[in-house]
Amino acid sequence: ELKVEQNPLFLSMQEGKNYTIYCNYSTTSDRLYWYRQDPGKSLESLFVLLSNGAVKQEGRLMASLDTKARLSTLHITAAVHDLSATYFCSWGGSEKLVFGKGTKLTVNP
Amino acid sequence: DTAVSQTPKYLVTQMGNDKSIKCEQNLGHDTMYWYKQDSKKFLKIMFSYNNKELIINETVPNRFSPKSPDKAHLNLHINSLELGDSAVYFCASSQAGTQETQYFGPGTRLLVL
């Protein structure tokens, strides 16, 4: 059975600090997605990672993919309050998409 | 202009009823999706259509039937609604297939009483 595991599920951090969210998956794929969801809102696609070693950055967020380790990371640099949200990773195949349980990030002033 | 729109935004109905949720995208995308997010915020893909052809059909009750009249629309019809169907349903679209960035609609909050 395909599993996508995110950790931590809850993350409380101070502004200005760095942290990493991890996304492990059980079946080989060359496709991994990251999304953001604000409370009561829809989802926003952040990154689509399509190959081993792929790294993408947008502002204070950087995502990477290691297909050999079956691991993707979402690194947060110098966190700010506006980054508070729930972050989901998703494993993708041509006919399947499986989500992690999400990481609820709270950035405290 | 709204890229991916869903109607209605809220839907409150009784068990046993039949209801539909409509989705439209004006991005010219070929691929559309339906997702379900339950009360614990777990997300699950239900269906995906590429240019009106079903490409992802996860294990969902056959009370759920997607219909794509054209590639800009993907509607979700639900028969004999049950309490467990209460959730937020998101529609999304992408340029061509699951390798592309997905754009999500605002969601339809369904409550079955």
Chain B residues in contact with A33 by the CB 8 A cut-off are 102
CB contact under 8 A, B106 and A42: yes
Q: Mean pLDDT for chain B?
A: 92
Which positions of chain A have pLDDT values less than 70? 30, 94
Chain A residues in contact with B105 by the CB 8 A cut-off are 42
CB contact under 8 A, B100 and A95: no
Quote the DSSP letter at residue A51: S
Give residue B55's pLDDT: 82
How many contacts does A have with B, using Cβ atoms within 8 A?
Answer: 53
Helices (H) and strands (E) in chain B, counts: 0, 11
pLDDT digits (tens, 9 = 90+) for B61-103: 899 999 999 999 999 999 999 999 999 999 999 987 777 888 9
Query: How far is Cα A48 from Cα A70, in angstroms, rounded to an integer?
Result: 15
- Nearest by CB to residue B104, choosing from A31, A42, A93, is A42
A86 CB near a chain B CB, below 8 Å?
yes
Q: Which two tokens stand for residue A98?
A: 């499986």
Query: How far is Cα B1 from Cα A91, in angstroms, rounded to an integer?
Result: 30
In angstroms, what separates the C-alpha of B76 from chain A's closest C-alpha?
18
Quote the DSSP letter at residue A40: T
| Cβ atoms within 10 Å of A31's Cβ, excluding its own | 19
| Mean pLDDT of all residues in B41-54 | 89
Q: Does the pLDDT value for residue B1 go beyond 70? A: no
Chain A residues in contact with B107 by the CB 8 A cut-off are 42
